[in-house]
Amino acid sequence: MSASAEHITARATVTIRPLGRADAEPYRAFRLEALRETPTAFTSGHAEERAKPLAATLARLAEAEQGPGALLGAFDDTGALVGTAGLKVSRRGQERHKGTLYGMAVARAAGGRGIGRALVREVLRTAAEDGRLRQVLLTVSEGNEAALRLYTACGFEVWGREPRAVLVDGLAVAKLHMVRLLDAEPQPAPADRP
């Protein structure tokens, strides 16, 4: 994906585009804030990520730019980064049909505007354009009901539960594993039905 896409959400217009090396500093700051605000939502911790140099962020962005896959940013009308989501694609031949949605986050101040849904849909569109991908996987922390509703509304289904997937300050958090089959027509969630 090389172009940007404009999405009109419930209360905002956002531009979603691939993040590049020029976005390294705002992306790093955004990611650190997301890890600090919602530590149980991610497998990376705030302290370990903060200790990494900017070069690690640059390497992550360079890998996403090279593809396959993408790391997307949602920008509001002021140009501020208000959301991120990535698509990582397996490089192994027998797993090349699978992508993983990762790094999904929306700034707390920008929540409730449909930005998360726009990001997930853009990741799914990017996956469908790949041509070789047949499914997109993700994990969501058990108890994160807002994220679970979002992913379910976008056609993801839970296929498993990993107990104690992460330990956050001694607290065990289970992860729900979800999949969205790209060659199957998604069924709308009850809230999406007329």
Concatenated DSSP letters for the chain?
--S-EEEE-SS-EEEEEE--GGGHHHHHHHHHHHHHH-GGG-SS-HHHHHHS-HHHHHHHHHHHHHSSEEEEEEE-TTS-EEEEEEEEE--SGGGTTEEEEEEEEE-GGGTTSSHHHHHHHHHHHHHHHHSS--EEEEEEETT-HHHHHHHHHTT-EEEEEEEEEEEETTEEEEEEEEEEETTSPPPPPGGG--
What phi, psi does 148 have (nearest 5°)? -60, -45
The count of structural domains within the chain is 1
Residue 119: CATH number of its domain: 3.40.630.30
Q: Is the pTM of this model over 0.75?
A: yes
pLDDT tens for the chain, residues 1 to 194: 445 666 555 556 899 999 999 999 999 999 999 999 999 999 898 999 999 999 999 999 998 888 888 999 999 999 999 999 999 998 888 999 999 999 999 999 998 999 999 999 999 999 999 989 999 999 999 999 999 999 999 999 999 999 999 999 999 999 999 999 998 765 555 554 44
CB-based burial of residue 92 (10 Å sphere; 0-12 exposed, 13-18 middle, 19+ buried)?
Answer: exposed
Supply the range of the domain harboring residue 119.
5-192
| pLDDT (0 to 100) of residue 13 | 85
| pLDDT, tens digit, 9 for 90 and up, residues 92-146 | 889 999 999 999 999 999 989 999 999 999 999 999 999 899 999 999 999 999 9
Q: List CB contacts of 151: < 8 A, sequence separation 6 or more.
A: 120, 138, 140, 178, 180
Q: How far does CA 46 lie from the centroid of its chain? A: 17
Of 90, 123, 119, 142, nearest to 30 (Cα)? Answer: 119
At 1, list the tokens: 């994906």
